[in-house]
Amino acid sequence: MTAGGAGRHRFAAALLALLLSAFALGGCSAVQGAASLPDTGAGAAGSGEVAAAGPDGTPAAPGEEATSNGGSSGDAAAPAAPGEGEASGAADGASDAAAAADNAAAADQLTVRFIDVGQGDCALLTCGGETLLIDGGPSEASSKLYSILKSLGISRLDYIICTHPDEDHCGGISGALNFASCGTFFCSVTEHDTRAFASVLRYLGQVPVTVPAVGDGFSLGAAQVTFVGPAQRTRDTNEGSLVCRVDLGEVSFLFTGDAGEESEEAMLAAGAQLDADVLKVGHHGSASSSTSRFLAAVSPDYAVISVGAGNSYGHPTDEALARLGATGATVLRTDLLGSVVAVTDGRDVQFSSTKGKLDN
């Protein structure tokens, strides 16, 4: 979606059994279905539906149907009756052709996994066989990221964006790098005096740290990633967070790290292209982020808050939730939904969640 906004896109929730059948690295096929969205605590944040996904947004085991608690159920297939071989072969051929068509379509789809890492940020994006990790959550999320990458078969992260060096954003990256290699590493700084960031640099080895300028970008499969902030440099690590938008066709995502009012105002003054369908809410829904002027420029349909349950910071704050509610956006919180997965073909977006409840 370009600034000034193309029209609103159709959004639909997805039943997991169909969603996960095409949950390859490049995305998954569009699906239809309905599921109930648990209370987001956002008041008038809009209505929406989220289907259940496998644990932490990873695929369920073949033949299994995911449930709201990550469990599964299913009956073994009955053996074919005598004389059914030819019909079965023809059906298999048709299924293979359909699968090939689905795989071709999936190559141009973007999957965004907002991974539940507690009080921190982490998103894993895949499109056209290429991968991007945006932040890694706190250090205690390291083993979780290792396991997720292993279960998805991702042994190389083409790009990593560390929005800023605070531990709740960079700590878990070490676990990711313990399993997968890195092509290009972006960060708001090249050095920072914390053990967590030092660990990341150690696992990077010979991979240099690139500090991008506003306007820099790269392709991720058929998607385009562009850095739109920070519009001005600052010593404050939160306000200096890298801000990037990801566009595929008419659909866009905006990732804001821990950017607060200072950074938001600077981007607005610089005329940054902020309009997006899905917003990763800044600073876990703190009162000093997601100002009304900024949200008006973004005009999101969905707002994802990555936040830990019962955290000591009081995130997300009532003030931020009220401002998000005023936009009419549907608010999706990892403390309530677990990992949230968005899939888009550039026209529509479908969501699933590890704690969403399926309509039966």
Residue 191 is assigned to a structural domain of this protein: no
pLDDT of residue 107: 66
For every one of its 360 residues, what pLDDT tens digit does the chain have, with 9 covering 90 and above? Answer: 544 444 444 444 443 333 333 333 333 333 323 333 333 444 333 335 577 666 555 544 333 333 333 333 333 333 334 344 444 444 444 555 555 555 555 668 999 999 999 999 999 999 999 999 999 999 999 999 999 999 999 999 999 999 999 999 999 999 999 999 999 999 999 999 999 999 999 999 999 999 999 999 999 999 999 999 999 989 999 999 999 999 999 999 999 999 999 999 999 999 999 999 999 999 999 999 999 999 999 999 999 999 999 999 999 999 999 999 999 999 999 999 999 999 999 999 999 998 754 232
The CA distance from 187 to 226, in Å, is 14
Q: CA-based angle 119:124:126, to the nearest 5?
A: 170
Which whole-number Å values give the CA distances from 265 to 10, 255, 303, in the listed order? 30, 16, 19
286 found inside a domain: yes
DSSP class of residue 55?
G
148 domain residue, yes or no? no
Q: Residue 294 belongs to what domain range?
A: 115-134+213-355
Distance CA 281, CA 267 (A): 15
Question: Is residue 84 assigned to a domain?
Answer: no
Per-residue buried b or exposed e for 4-42, using 16+ beta carbons within 10 Å of the residue's own CB? eeeeebebbbbbbbbbbbbbbbbbbbbbebebebeebeb
Q: What is the CATH number of the domain that holds 343?
A: 3.60.15.10
Within-domain flag for 66: no
pLDDT tens column, 15-43: 333 333 333 333 333 332 333 333 344 43
255 domain residue, yes or no:
yes
- What is the C-alpha to C-alpha distance for residues 252 and 255, in angstroms, rounded to an integer? 10
Answer whether residue 232 is part of any domain: yes
Instruction: Provide the pLDDT for residue 355.
Output: 78
Write out pLDDT tens, residues 109-121: 999 999 999 999 9
**What is the count of structural domains for the chain?**
1
Domain assignment present for residue 154? The answer is no
